[in-house]
Amino acid sequence: MTTHSQQAAIVGVEHWAKKGDVRLFLWEKRAADGVGANGTVLFVHGSSMASQPTFDLTVPGRADSSVMDWFAQRGFNTWCVDMEGYGRSDKSRDLYFDIANGADDLAAATDYIMQHTSARQFMVYGISSGALRAALFAQQHPERVARMALDAFVWTGKGSPTLEERAKKLDHWRAHKRRPIDRAFVHSIFNRDHPGCAEDAVVEAFADAILKLDDSVPTGTYLDMCAKLPVVDPAQISVPTVVMRGQFDGIASMDDLLDFFNRLPNPDKQFAVMAGISHASFQQINYRTVYHILHSFFTQPEPLYKA
């Protein structure tokens, strides 16, 4: 493993990939010298916000709020992509923009990155519905995934208080392809499971960044998570995987995740419980725990002996 200077200058570059006629916004952060010797990380956002607010957030007085910068300073090339229907990506098609559509977005994004860089495999991190998109992408394109992290993931939805509550509006989600978001909604993300896990200044900066890009988001992932789970098959996910669960996260029960974990066929797998964390883990007070788990898994040596 190459250790990069934590004072390395980081550059950000915007890119545009094509999925047929659809334009997808990609954002790259890397060290100015372009080394990236530790590999390429692709970050995948969730249901209610675009990619840059989640992975490249700036909060005055809070060091390392950008996980992309943090990993770039440690020798990784980092990328994120706005799913179709979110942020700067195309919103013109009259679709729900579900999990399957998001997996197609990741295929198009990795096509672009492989065409324009030397990357051939990716360390993929997905959070919430982004974890479902990442898992489905890995199921469909295992050759492109070196390692995968599934944060705030859900498999069947059994035992999820958040999804149980959300399903009460299932008819509404079916009747509307987009749902409005505002500052109060962003606050609800941090208050629904265990208030106090995130600092107010971080929540406000997160809300500012989200609402600068979107005042509504697609309903497709909500529909999938309330009415169509499971959308991935653990038996068909062959890549090394870490399942990361916040102690207080209401999206998935521990039993649901452990059942999924036990069915993963690759023995190179880990299950991590993150103390003091609810949802939106990179915006929590204990965000450095998340960074540590993720960095450790992404830099883990490949096993020399395989039975």
CATH of the domain at 25: 3.40.50.1820
* DSSP letters spanning 242-262: EEEEETT--SS-HHHHHHHHH
The verdict on whether omega for the bond into residue 230 sits within 30 degrees of 0, i.e. cis, is: yes
The answer to whether residue 204 is domain-embedded is: yes
How far apart CA 32 and CA 269 sit, in angstroms, is 33
Classify residue 236: in a domain, yes or no.
yes
Number of domains in the chain: 1
Assigned domain for 98 exists: yes
Residue at token pair 């929590």: 284
Q: Is 4 within the bounds of a domain?
A: no
The per-residue pLDDT for 263 is 98
pLDDT of residue 35: 72
Residue 1 falls inside a structural domain: no
Contact 46, 10 (CB under 8 A): no
Domain with 284 in it: 10-75+87-118+127-141+152-298
- Contact between 125 and 159 under an 8 Å Cβ cutoff? The reply is no
Q: What is the pTM of this model?
A: 0.96
Whether residue 306 is contained in a domain is answered as no
Per-residue pLDDT of the chain (307 residues; tens, 9 = 90+): 434 445 779 999 999 999 999 999 999 999 988 777 899 999 999 999 999 999 999 999 999 999 999 999 999 999 999 999 999 999 999 999 999 999 999 999 999 999 999 999 999 999 999 999 999 999 999 999 999 999 999 999 999 999 999 999 999 999 999 999 999 999 999 999 999 999 999 999 999 999 999 999 999 999 999 999 999 999 999 999 999 999 999 999 999 999 999 999 999 999 999 999 999 999 999 999 999 999 999 999 988 998 7
Residue 304, in any domain of the structure: no
Residue 172 lies in a domain: yes
